[in-house]
Structure 1
Amino acid sequence: MSEIRSRSAAFCQRFRLDLPILLAPMAGACPPALSIAVAQAGGAGACGALLMQPAEIAAWADAMRAQTDRPFQINLWIPDPPPKRDAAQEAHVREFLGKWGPPVPLTAADAVPQDFAAQCDALLAARPAIVSSIMGLYAPAFVERLKAAGIAWFATATTVAEARAAESAGADAVIAQGMEAGGHRGCFEAARAEATQSGLFSLLPAVVDAVRVPVIATGGIADARGIAAALTLGASAVQIGTGFLRCPEAGIHPAWAQALAAALPEKTVLTRAFSGRAGRSLATDYAIAAAAPGAPAPAPYPVQRGLTATMRKHAQETGDLQRMQAWAGQSAALARAVPAADLARALWEGAQRLLP
């Protein structure tokens, strides 16, 4: 067996997988049905729990376990410091957004995150095989509780320095996220998201060389070629998000799913215009306008997310892609509209044919 195959096989054995493929934990786009399908194919399901209350986290895990005993991960954002509010700036953003949807309520900017401590307790109670983090690292006390419960911790890193910090903090594996990834960038420092963009195939071998724990590659992987390349560069497994979004189990809006099929790499954009945190979306009319000269700078997270809630809800209800929060990685056009279990198996079969 080649070194590449033995590395991924060891990872799969350790984490009870048949395929070295993890579903990315996409908040709002990871219904149990999608994770169940990926898990039943031999990969790992995932839940992006950012927006969930503890009871919702428990319900998601219960729905998963009702259909499969396969492993899954639950992911949380490490909270940012409280945002600095600017009433005048928020008024400018509210006025701008009023041109793209219904009037924005005056209280929209008062949005607050979920209770992080309560969410952490819910993760422990749910007892997934894996808990993952993004935007930073869990506190040492919580890491100790994870380890005492026998739960593995996968830490997302966007730089070599972040990867080293994750390993030092006790992470069981590092998820190396390239700038090609759809959705939010996982930078530990929100303000540096645009300044620290590294492509996956430059970041990945550097992280592999810098840490001793297994490395999982994510960002722009959506076909067998990407999987084979990532494993060749030292990854033990891959994590795929956008590549699964066109699967029927994902349940995203048809307009979003159809647009992914035609999204060339240059038709995505890194933007703070939806949430205040940098994330990669389709280059929609709103995303482009929000970056144009004269447009107000987005408010910080989660204020901007609150301000855009009315527009995003209206866009979903009317099917208006140009105002929709349509996250997309740079390999979105490689995503296939087939059942998720079939896709996961086909991706791994194709990758194996390419590996030595």
Structure 2
Amino acid sequence: MLNQLNIKYPIFLAPMAGVSTPALAAAVSNAGGLGALGLGSSTIDGAIHQIKQTKLLTPNAFQVNFFCHEEYKLDKEQEKDWIHFLSKEFFRLGKEAPTQLQQLYSSFKNNDDYTNLLLDTKPKAVSFHFGLPSYSQISALKSSGILTMVSVTQLSEALEAQALGIDILIAQGIEAGGHRGMFNPSRESGIFTSDLVSILIEHPQIQLPVVAAGGIMAGDAIRKMLDLGASAAQLGTAFIQCEESAANQSYKNALFQQKNTQITDIISGRPARGLISQWHQILASCHEVQHSGYPYTYDIAKKLSTLDPAFSIYWAGSNVSNIRRLNAQALMETLIEELL
């Protein structure tokens, strides 16, 4: 399957929504890896623009990514309770808390406009996070020659993805920065990247290529995953600091100033790993309050993060202390040299 992408080196850029850019994706692809665009938070027009811009910057393959979360009707009592719980922080800052929460992102599986934009723009590969699209969507993409991939965090998800026709599995270990890709946010497996790769490679029913993702910062770690049987490795946090990424300077600086990360679901409504911040400290006082779920919870978190730097949201993997301050081309050259 990976041969269809015609990449020279088994290095994937993680498709980080809000951080990846056409320039970053193109730099990785031009260096022989697989660049990526995180489009889950983009509008249809914005996604089309990013894909077209990337194609202008590289003739090589890159992947695009969308969210496949289960959409649901917001529980008004939970909404009210969560807003009330965080209202004291807005009050402290002299601001009014929002009166309601917005659904920031729609799911790929419920929006055929996403499918149609892929059929029109024809990127070489598309990946999915938080779950799977419908069988008809997968069939349409594959019929158009688009390779399909999905993040999985445990064996059951991998088997489900294979049965539905997905082409490549991205094995996301617990070390990964940002959102955990599990299909059901309440069923965390907690499996390390190397262990998950081994589970999938060794399982007799799994017949798909496996890409390792989670906590990988250097070429020797990539080599370890390849030796376990992975076909490639996917890196995200290592590239956030690049000048080509859309992360602001405060985010980039924090990656070099902090070493500790933790997973929590109170920021966005789904478990995600990021640098320790005020969010992780207020966990101690919210045991009796249930957040409103993804992506509604994310709406109020983003609003609060713009008002107080202590609530800044900096997603990062567990090995963040091993990142290097390099632009995308230099980082790719370094990774390739270490790998070879």
Interval containing the TM-score (normalised by the shorter chain): over 0.9
Structure-to-structure mapping, 1:1-356, within 5 angstroms: 11=2, 13-85=3-75, 86=77, 87-98=79-90, 101=93, 102-107=95-100, 109-114=101-106, 116=108, 117=111, 118-193=113-188, 196-210=189-203, 211-264=206-259, 267-284=260-277, 286-294=278-286, 296-315=289-308, 320=309, 322-352=310-340
Return the offset for 1:197: 1.1
Q: Distance in 2 between matches of 1:130 and 1:33?
A: 18
Q: 1:307 to 1:180 in 2, by over 3 A?
A: same
Q: Which residue identity does 1:70 align to in structure 2?
A: N
Spell out, residue by residue over 1:110-161, the C-alpha distance to the aligned partner (whole angstroms, 9 max, x if none).
3342373122222222211001011111111001101110000011100011
Partners in 2 of 1:128 and 1:73 — Cα distance? 7
Question: Could you tell me which residue of structure 2 aligns to residue 7 of structure 1?
Answer: none
Judge conservation of contact 2:169–2:210 (CA < 8 Å) in 1: yes
- Residues 83 and 98 of structure 2 are in contact (CA less than 8 Å); yes or no, is this contact kept in structure 1? no
The alpha-carbon distance between structure 1 residues 24 and 294, as it changes in their structure 2 partners (threshold 3 A), is: closer
Identity %: 29
Q: Which runs of 5+ in 1 are unaligned?
A: 1-9
Distance 2:6 2:211 in 1: 15
TM-score, scaled to structure 2: 0.92
User: What secondary structure, in the 3-state scheme, does the structure 1 residue paired with 2:58 have?
Assistant: coil
Asked if the contact 1:83–1:300 (Cα under 8 Å) also holds between the matched residues in 2, the reply is no
Measure the CA separation in 2 of the matches of 1:199 and 1:247.
26
CA contact under 8 A between 2:82 and 2:290: conserved in structure 1?
no
CA distance in 2, matches of 1:240, 1:314: 30
Check whether the contact 1:247–1:336 (CA below 8 A) recurs between aligned residues.
Answer: no
> What is the CA-CA distance between 1:97 and the residue it aligns to?
4.0
Partner of 2:116, secondary structure, is helix
Aligned-pair RMSD on alpha carbons? 1.8
**SS in structure 1 of the partner of residue 15 of structure 2:** coil
User: Once the 2 structures are TM-superposed, how far is the Cα of residue 39 of structure 1 from its aligned partner?
Assistant: 1.0
8 Å contact from structure 1 (residues 100, 323) kept in 2: no
Deviations 1:46-67 (A, max 9, x none): 1111111111111001110111
CA distance in 2, matches of 1:335, 1:140: 39
Question: C-alpha displacement at 1:233, in angstroms?
Answer: 0.9
3-state SS of paired residue (2:186): helix
Q: Residues 325, 83 of structure 1: CA spacing in aligned structure 2 closer, same or farther, 3 A cutoff?
A: farther
CA distance in 2, matches of 1:256, 1:233: 33
CA distance in 2, matches of 1:72, 1:134: 16
Instruction: Tell me the distance in 2 between the aligned counterparts of 1:262 and 1:226.
Output: 23
Give the gaps of 5 or more residues in structure 2: none
Matched to 2:243, the amino acid is: P
Q: CA deviation at 1:180?
A: 0.5
Which TM-score applies when normalising by structure 1? 0.88
Local SS of the residue matching 2:262: strand
Q: How far apart are the structure 1 equivalents of 2:115 and 2:263? A: 29
- The answer on whether the counterparts of 2:67 and 2:107 sit within 8 Å (CA) in structure 1 is no
Farther-moved stretch of structure 1 (113-122 vs 141-150): 113-122
Secondary structure, counterpart of 1:291 in structure 2: helix
Pairs aligned (count): 331
Between the aligned partners of 2:88 and 2:23, the Cα distance in structure 1 is: 37
- What is the SS of the residue equivalent to 1:66? helix
